[in-house]
Amino acid sequence: MKKYILFIIALFTAAPLIAQDTVPQEWSFRSRVLQVDQANVAAFEKAVAKKTKMYNSKEGQPRWITFRILSGPQANNYLRMQMTTDISDFDNEDVKGNAYWQKTVGSLHTSLGNRFWSRNNWSSYVPDDSKPMTLRRVMYYNYKDSGEQDFWRFRRRVKIAMTESGYGSRMSVLVCTSGCEGNVVQVRFHHDGFTGQSSDYGEPLQNMIAKYNELYGEDAYEQDSNSVDATLEDNGRIIRHHEIIPELSS
């Protein structure tokens, strides 16, 4: 971790500064997968929606966001994430909200795991006119210690190329700080449904790649991407799709 921090500081000071880095907002998350039998889906969603409205929708209450998992072994289950800009919030037990959850939702699901994440502002990208979007294409990476520099150089360069090319949709990079094995990172691309994903990966993506190569050299995008591939552990790149459920989110 110390090596990672020193590398980020060194590379950040050498890289061009962009507006999003001037006032970064620090976000921390804790997440868990909620496994629900299909027979219980309707009751589960109704109960979570009511609990969220009562205990997670007002100022000062814990903020939660809920996704339906669309692909992979946990498809049709749920990912629920608490989000905060003050990590000390994780010390505060929501006694009433948790009791209500156990009473109404506890028997309708099985909670799988608990992970903590930190948003890496240095490599995350938010367009100026960012709007809420329903779909996340999530790429989970697990890179070797020896590949740390190659991995983070590429992620930083992608952000800069997105900024310079005026890329229209958001990219959030979350680093696993606890609960994962290895150097686990998720890169979350925000799309307006699958139609939006198809559109984003057309001309906007090609413009970003062209800008990347203009900034860092001919074929730099392909070369840097290949370098990242070489840093990954076995099965070190996994792709999932998540769909946000507004009624179950703060």
- Residue 2 — pLDDT band, cuts 50, 70, 90? very low
Express each pLDDT in 187-213 by its tens digit: 999 999 999 999 999 999 999 999 999
- Residue 179 — pLDDT band, cuts 50, 70, 90? very high
For residue 13 the two structure tokens come to 């000071």
Please state whether 29 falls in left (phi above 0), alpha (psi between -120 and 50) or beta.
Answer: beta
d(CA 211, CA 200): 15
